[in-house]
Chains A and B, each alone.
Chain A
Amino acid sequence: MEHIKRSVQTAFHKIKHSFKEFLPFFLAIFLVQCIFFTVLLSFQSNEAHLKQETEASYSYHILVTGLYEDEMLILKENRRAVFLNEFYYTPLTIKEYTSPNGDPSYDMTVKLLTGNKDYGIFSLFRDDSLRANYEAMLYKYGDIIGEASDHVSIYLSPLYLLEESTASLATARNLLIVAVFLICFLMLFVLYRLYVSRQTFSFGIFSTFGADSKRLQENAFTQLYLIALFTLLPAYYLSALICFAFYTAGASAFYFSWFSLKNWLVLLLVMAPLLLLVVRTPIKLLSRKPVCELLQAADASDLVSSPRQSAPLVQKGFPFGYEALSFWRFRKHHIVSACVSVLLCALLVLGTLIGDVYQANKDMESKALSDFTVQFRGINSVSDSQYESLASANGIKNAHRVYPEALLTKYHSLLLVDDSLIASNVGFANDTAAGVSYTGDARIIAAAYDTLAYYKSLYQIEGNPDALLDGPNRVIIGSSYQNRDTFSYSVGDTVRVAIPMYDEEGELVLNGDKLPSELETGEGLWQQMYERISYQLVTLEIVGIIEDYPSGMNGVPLLLSTDTYQALTGESVTAKTVSVSVDTSSAENYDLAFDELSRICAVLGNATVSISGASFRAEIEKNYCYSQFIPTLSLLLFLFFPLLWVYAQNAIAQRREEEYKILYSLSVPPKKMRALCLASSLMMLPICLSILLATFGVTVLVLHFVNHVLPNIFHISVAAVGGIAPSLWGYGAIIAALLLSFLLSFFIPYFHYQSAKRSFSLKP
């Protein structure tokens, strides 16, 4: 205890004493804490939002629909409970309506009493007629929705799933914190190594008089941790301000508490291992060296550019050659700084891009949300009239039948595009017999009038899409592949779908005796397929072109009328489900739509509604402001860039102050000294440029990854993101920072030269 008190006192004195030396650490630790707090606070706000919205919108945990009267009564009176402590729930609302056979049917919402949120609760609904529900629910509650029993369905409301949603938020937060921890560690580590390299002499003296590495680490840790204590509260309130700013920009509320002991303790807890790791290695490495080497670092031998090592590198000459030697002497510093800078710049650009990609994908998803699925039983396909009765429900935005799709991939089929129309960058050269192009995957979609309307609401379709249903062999086709504008056909052109032919035994009919090689990929594979497999060509006329279709595993979409689809694929076109999305302009629409759909299903008799709650979730997620949060976070991380550069350049210049003194005492004229400083900044120019280039390279790579690797290799459907436009401000920040560090690499040495000069004039 006494020991801790003393070492805290010593550290405090040390910091107070050499505040200037520790200023960079004040800034860096402050920044680290701001970053951590920004993550913490924004996720806490998200959680508060999730909780509030869910509890405001849902008062019940479980919804049971389609109950017969006796079942309803069992549940209502809780007859299953034998003892008082078995009253696990209270019924909230009971709605009655008449089913087709004239009997009354009931929907009941149930609120679970606190502490009873486990699977066991479902045993309460265990009745002969409810057993199927119960078992299915135990299996996995997500799956039972809508198909559990012939007349009863159980739904879990978002309130029931709140804990899970919260947990997934927490997972995201923790992952982010780990990532941030690693980056912050790296930054502080680099900074601290610089500090140690400046302090070798002091450490050498400490070690001479008995300080082992543990002792040195302890001192260093106490100093940094003390700084962390000082900056904790300012960082907390600044990050609250930052969060407030970007939540406001995202038109969302920010929940925040002015006094949060828990948050402060959490951060101090995180800072401890972080700072411990930061000081550990540099000091370990240092104390492994013989002490006399540490002490030597302080004398002039280290401070004068050493021609011995670098003479072969550059011809000597003052000031440029001379400065080049110094540049070489500090090459390690420069390399580390440059690498770290590239990382930070890349993170910034990545942040802006991810923000953009996130937004683009949310926009894309939000158009295609399905809030309810109506499932039909015992029918061949949903008829127009059945569909119409569902589509007439109030409060819905869109309802459409879900028709099957066929994927044309690999050996299955080829999509050939009329040769005169091609300006494609994928595909065969025109020297093949048919002069064709291909796409990787094609997605053949059957569309009735409702599906067509749905697609029209999702995408921009050029031409006259309605003509699709007016005749056979017509197609609406996508013009991009792998998120890139690939095909330049226009309405009225024709495409041919090549369908491989099979013999009676179901074997592929080959032109020769060889299959395409398993080893071939891409163009080569297509070439071989076209040559070796017999295809039957079906010509389709383009009536519409989808301009903005996001590519993933879906490939190029080909919308066909149901008849054409059947003719082409040989599969019958049936729809067993209708997908419904809610008009989210009014909050009541969700309940309204569900009520109406349940009623209609009850009337139809063979259909059940299941809830996905997608709109509700999307609405909440929108309030998380991720597309503002991610760029903000990367910008905060980017602030390490100027900090690091200024510190590194200052550290180098400070170590050279002795050298400047010597130069001054050797009467080097001021003009030459200015030229020397200019030389040092000019040598930074290639570093700055390479940082910029590397960053640009990263941008290109990321765009390639998002637009091509994700859809192509990982089969993840993503919206296309275009170019560097969204990260332009990121580039602005990077260029400003580079310019700053370029200028500073002149002014900082010059400043230290001036102060070296002054130290002479002070001496009598």
Chain B
Amino acid sequence: MDSPILQVQSLIKQFRQSDSVITAVNRVNFTVESGEFVAIVGASGSGKSTFLQLCAGLMTPNSGSIKILGQEITELSPDKLAQFRGRFLGMIFQKHNLIPQLTAKENIEIPAIMMDKAPSSYEHSFMKLVEALKIKDRLHHLPSELSGGQQQRVAIARALMNRPQILFADEPTGNLDRANADEVLSLLLKMQKDFNQTLIMVTHDESIAQRADRIFKMEDGCLSQISH
């Protein structure tokens, strides 16, 4: 087996309010192998989203190391980090985080445009993606004209657009009903298989977590494996 795709060591993230310090992520060690599906569960406010954003390079930790594909991302400059994210990482936010002024299609195309891909090069995969996510007939709507679940699926399509090697998903199925949630999960798992993607997912859904290769639990900022 080659080296792990993601390796986190004694990661600490603290938020300082005027008089108190919240340790959202507390000395976390975490290793994920390439192609794995890892689920993270935990109570609300336990630090799951914070941890995910740290791993995705969207937040800077107070201390600790995050190695992705052998690259220590905490040492990258903001610009290099952005390029790195664009090439290797995908992110599905807990709140869908679509740009309100852009249509669904434009929102989905953002990663491709940012990586300077010609439209012809991603046309095909784009169509397949939106078909699978059942948002093909909603492409020219603004986010405000979409339902919560549709917005979520647009956000998922956006995260998958560049076929990232690691996909971080923060409760991707939170807004979906059972049937839709299962379908979206199947799609994510299919992508994971087809492109040997690594999937790291925060979820409250027990049945989804059960399908993961390994399950971790977040408790007051501390991460521990509870199954494999």
Contact = CB atoms under 8 A, between A and B. Distances in A.
Contact of A213 (B78, B99, B101): B78
B14 interface: no
A287 B97 CA distance: 18
A3 interface: yes
Given A208-B85, A208-B91, A6 B118 contact: yes
Interface stretch (B39-47, B109-117, B204-212): B109-117
A212 B82 contact: yes
B147 interface: no
Nearest to B159: A209
Q: State the main secondary structure of chain A at its contact with B.
A: helix
A17 B107 CA distance: 13
A208 B99 contact: no
Contacts of B114: 206, 209-211, 215
Interface in B155-185: 158, 161-162
Most buried by A among B79, B97, B161: B79
Contacts of A201: 97, 99
A713 B9 CA distance: 69
Nearest to B49: A292
Contact of A210 (B58, B87, B98, B99): B87
B58 A212 contact: no
Contacts of B98: 205
A637 to B, nearest CB: 32
User: Size class of A's contact patch?
Assistant: 20 to 34
A385 interface: no
Nearest to A201: B99
B60 interface: yes
Interface string B75-106: 00011101101110001010101110110000
A295 interface: yes
A207 B58 CA distance: 9
A291 B80 CA distance: 13
User: Size class of B's contact patch?
Assistant: 20 to 34
Contacts of A214: 79
Contacts of A289: 78
A310 to B, nearest CB: 13
Interface string A276-320: 000000000001111110010011000000001000000000000
Interface string B41-61: 000000000000100111110
Q: State the main secondary structure of chain B at its contact with A.
A: loop
Contact of B116 (A3, A202, A209, A295): A3
Contacts of B82: 207, 210-213, 215, 287
Contacts of A287: 78-79, 82
Contacts of A2: 118
B20 interface: no
Nearest to B144: A759
Most buried by B among A206, A210, A212: A210
Contacts of A210: 82-83, 85-87, 111, 114-115, 162
A292 B58 contact: yes
Contacts of B97: 201, 205, 295, 298
Contacts of A430: none
Contacts of B111: 209-210
B87 to A, nearest CB: 7
Nearest to A762: B144
B227 interface: no
A464 to B, nearest CB: 81
Contact of A290 (B59, B80, B95): B59
A212 B79 contact: yes
B91 A202 contact: no
A10 interface: yes
A230 B93 CA distance: 38
B15 to A, nearest CB: 11
Contacts of B110: 205-206, 209
Contacts of B86: 209-211
Interface string B18-50: 100000000000000000000000000000000
A179 B48 CA distance: 54
Interface in A1-47: 2-3, 6, 10, 17-18, 21
A63 to B, nearest CB: 67
Contact of A209 (B60, B78, B85, B101): B85
Nearest to B115: A210
B64 to A, nearest CB: 15
A308 B58 CA distance: 26
A203 B73 CA distance: 20
Contact of A205 (B78, B79, B99): B99
Contact of B95 (A202, A215, A299): A299
A18 B58 contact: no
Contacts of A202: 99, 101
Nearest to A5: B118
A6 B109 CA distance: 13
A629 to B, nearest CB: 42
A308 B118 CA distance: 48
A289 B82 CA distance: 12
A61 to B, nearest CB: 60
Nearest to B119: A6
Contacts of A10: 113
Contacts of A215: 82, 114, 116
A17 B142 CA distance: 12
Contacts of A292: 53, 58-59
Most buried by A among B60, B86, B114: B114
Nearest to A291: B58
B101 to A, nearest CB: 6
Interface in A413-448: none
A21 B102 CA distance: 13
Interface of B: 18, 53, 56-60, 78-80, 82-83, 85-87, 91, 93, 95, 97-99, 101-102, 110-111, 113-116, 118, 158, 161-162
The 3 closest A-B pairs by CB, nearest first: A210-B86, A209-B111, A212-B79
22 contacts: A2-B118, A17-B101, A18-B101, A21-B101, A202-B99, A202-B101, A205-B97, A205-B110, A206-B110, A206-B114, A209-B86, A209-B111, A209-B115, A210-B82, A211-B114, A213-B78, A215-B114, A287-B79, A291-B59, A292-B58, A295-B58, A308-B18
